[in-house]
Chain A
């Protein structure tokens, strides 16, 4: 790691001021992505602003049909929350398959969404449910938030404070995990909302998480796994690497999407 100055503010306002005044400041949440990155010297922030001591950034609450989860809420808390389990079981299932138990005890919702790793799980839930990402400055719809590999709509120093998810019953997440990295080779979040149907895919595309609109369109006729028989997204858009070719991933998206829709339809 390169040397940095460490800050531990106790309010979001103070944290924002610290990142803003630093020449190259970075927020630190669970550190499960950032610390490995710093160790590899792939980033060299001059100042680290730890959100760990900011109260009110973590917690889970349900108001009407909206489930709001604080940015610093750890994956393990979401996975084990009876509120999430009752209101949005698909999200609890998703949190339970992120990484491994130790990673889930540190990693946070906000960190995962801000990082927008193309194989991360939470971005699929945000996009698949049409969540709203709430920052210290504004509210951003998931459809406008994820802009590509590790790219988001966040401005430098902007802090995610919480995320609001609509509590959709007919929803499911199915993940085909990479056995070594534990990230998604393909993960599909399918949801049938009152207003629309959403199918969000992570892990597969060269542009990161995306909505598979062709599938959404087809599912409008009938929301069932069978509807997607024989369908897969264009292989050219998919990642092709030592773990699998673009054709393989495209096929896998079709298979995993069918399973996700089946699970959502039965939910």
Chain B
């Protein structure tokens, strides 16, 4: 069986896999990174969204072997317990979830929107850009609020304590 090697959340990951292994399976079953969810497995719902070389993709629709040599970021790589990413913090603050199943994908998609469109996002733009992510609980309203707020919070912070473009802040802030 072929060997695949990629960087996941900053660490090198390598394994001997069946060529059919999807990126999402590799993340969940080989690396035990179960934050990335499988909602539909038919490329529709976006629950499996991760960043592949910086771009949001549906990891149920990428073969692990296609990610050879790439850098993958999953929800686990965004923040840490006690050190949430501003977008995660915004989802918590604005109650942008109910069951939480879609949340990892929503957050990864939301961070990608900020990377492409900046920190001031209109409601229309957010709704349009979340096209690839389906939530069956919330009715989207609080998700949209959370994304707008999270985007603002990701702006390179003014003054001391801000960590600039990564948008990471300490939990104490």
List chain A positions with a Cβ less than 8 A from chain B: 1, 3-6, 8, 28, 31-32, 35-36, 39, 48, 50, 52-53, 76, 80, 99-103, 105-106, 182
Which residues from chain B contact A39 at a C-beta distance below 8 Å?
Answer: 41-42
Q: How close is B142's CB to chain A, nearest CB, in angstroms?
A: 21
Whether B57 contacts A182 by the Cβ 8 Å rule is no
Which residues from chain B contact A1 at a C-beta distance below 8 Å?
Answer: 20
User: In the complex, A105 Cα to B41 Cα: how many Å?
Assistant: 18
Whether B41 contacts A102 by the Cβ 8 Å rule is no
User: In the complex, A258 Cα to B49 Cα: how many Å?
Assistant: 38
Which residues from chain A contact B55 at a C-beta distance below 8 Å?
Answer: 76, 105
Q: Which interface class (under 10, 10 to 19, 20 to 34, 35 or more) fits B? A: 20 to 34
Given A5-B19, A35-B61, answer yes or no on A99-B132 (Cβ-Cβ < 8 Å): yes
Q: How close is A53's CB to chain B, nearest CB, in angstroms?
A: 8
| In the complex, residue of chain B having the shortest beta-carbon distance to the beta carbon of A80 | B116
User: In the complex, A80 Cα to B117 Cα: how many Å?
Assistant: 11
Answer yes or no: B2 CB below 8 A from chain A CBs.
yes
Which residues from chain A contact B116 at a C-beta distance below 8 Å?
Answer: 80, 101
Q: Is the interface of B mostly helix, strand, loop or mixed?
A: mixed
User: In the complex, A80 Cα to B56 Cα: how many Å?
Assistant: 15
A76, A102, A182: the one within 8 Å of B58 (CB): A102
| In the complex, residue of chain B having the shortest beta-carbon distance to the beta carbon of A181 | B44
Answer yes or no: B43 CB below 8 A from chain A CBs.
yes
Whether A101 contacts B56 by the Cβ 8 Å rule is yes
Which residues from chain A contact B133 at a C-beta distance below 8 Å?
Answer: 100
List chain B positions with a Cβ less than 8 A from chain A: 2, 18-20, 22, 41-43, 46, 49, 52, 55-58, 61-63, 65-66, 68, 109, 112-113, 116, 129, 131-133
Which residues from chain B contact A8 at a C-beta distance below 8 Å?
Answer: 65, 68
Whether B20 contacts A31 by the Cβ 8 Å rule is no
Given A4-B20, A35-B63, A39-B41, answer yes or no on A103-B112 (Cβ-Cβ < 8 Å): no
User: In the complex, A210 Cα to B47 Cα: how many Å?
Assistant: 36
Whether A101 contacts B109 by the Cβ 8 Å rule is yes
Q: How close is A262's CB to chain B, nearest CB, in angstroms?
A: 23
Which residues from chain A contact B65 at a C-beta distance below 8 Å?
Answer: 6, 8, 50
A4, A36, A99, A182: the one within 8 Å of B19 (CB): A4
Whether A32 contacts B63 by the Cβ 8 Å rule is no
User: In the complex, A39 Cα to B25 Cα: how many Å?
Assistant: 13
Which residues from chain B contact A32 at a C-beta distance below 8 Å?
Answer: 43, 61
Can you give 29 A-B contacts (C-beta < 8 A)? A1-B20, A6-B19, A6-B63, A8-B65, A28-B66, A31-B63, A31-B66, A32-B43, A35-B43, A35-B62, A36-B61, A39-B41, A39-B42, A48-B19, A50-B63, A50-B65, A50-B66, A52-B66, A53-B68, A99-B132, A100-B131, A101-B112, A101-B113, A101-B116, A101-B129, A101-B131, A102-B57, A102-B132, A106-B61
